[in-house]
Amino acid sequence: MSFLNALINNVGDETLREDLQERVDIILHKIKFMDKVPVTCLDTNNTPNHVLNVLLEAVGGEVLEIVQQAKVLIYHQTNTGIGQLMGLVPALLEKEWPAVAYNRVYLMEDTSAFLSDPVSFVEAMEDMAEMLYPGYFIFGNEGKNWTSFAV
């Protein structure tokens, strides 16, 4: 995960840099002992959205293209907030999908800016870890950056 190290190492404030590294290390240490989670990220056209793949893989996700094989489903659309997604997603879901059956559907606020901001990137990483491993991670951003979507 050299891209992540490079991103964090570019932070000028040493205290912030250490805090970010510690937050990442906590996630990486915990997921080291957990099974990978089959996950698909879709946009509002129900096509795979690859924007979050690097993060999903970093936090233990096994990114799949086929939604019928995913146990977790994340909807993310550029320039679209959670409120808008709540209005669009119900019509997109298929009850046969495992993620729908397991009630593991999540809506992710558009966080495209995180790609260049180390703090937002680490926060998005925490969000992904919490979605993939509920109960193991609680960072407090549910309802702000993402939400569980009960079907």
Quick one: pLDDT at residue 118?
A: 87
- Distance, CA of 41 to CA of 24 (rounded, Å): 22
Tokens standing for residue 75: 């909807």
**Fold that domain 2-148 belongs to in CATH:** Rossmann fold (3.40.50)
Quick one: pLDDT at residue 109?
A: 87
- Low-confidence stretches of the chain (pLDDT < 50) are none
**What single-letter amino acid sits at 114?**
F
Tokens standing for residue 71: 């146990």
Quick one: pLDDT at residue 65?
A: 93
- Distance, CA of 60 to CA of 27 (rounded, Å): 9
Quick one: pLDDT at residue 42?
A: 96
Quick one: pLDDT at residue 119?
A: 87
Quick one: pLDDT at residue 13?
A: 86
Quick one: pLDDT at residue 112?
A: 61
> Domain locations in the chain?
2-148
pLDDT, tens only, 72-84: 999 999 888 899 9
Tokens standing for residue 65: 């293209």
Q: Give the C-alpha distances (Å, rounded to integers) separating 144 from 15, 29, 54, 77.
A: 25, 25, 21, 16
Handedness of CA 147, 73, 102, 94 (dihedral sign): positive
Q: Is 131 helix (H, G, I), strand (E, B) or coil?
A: helix
- Measure CA 113 to chain center: 14
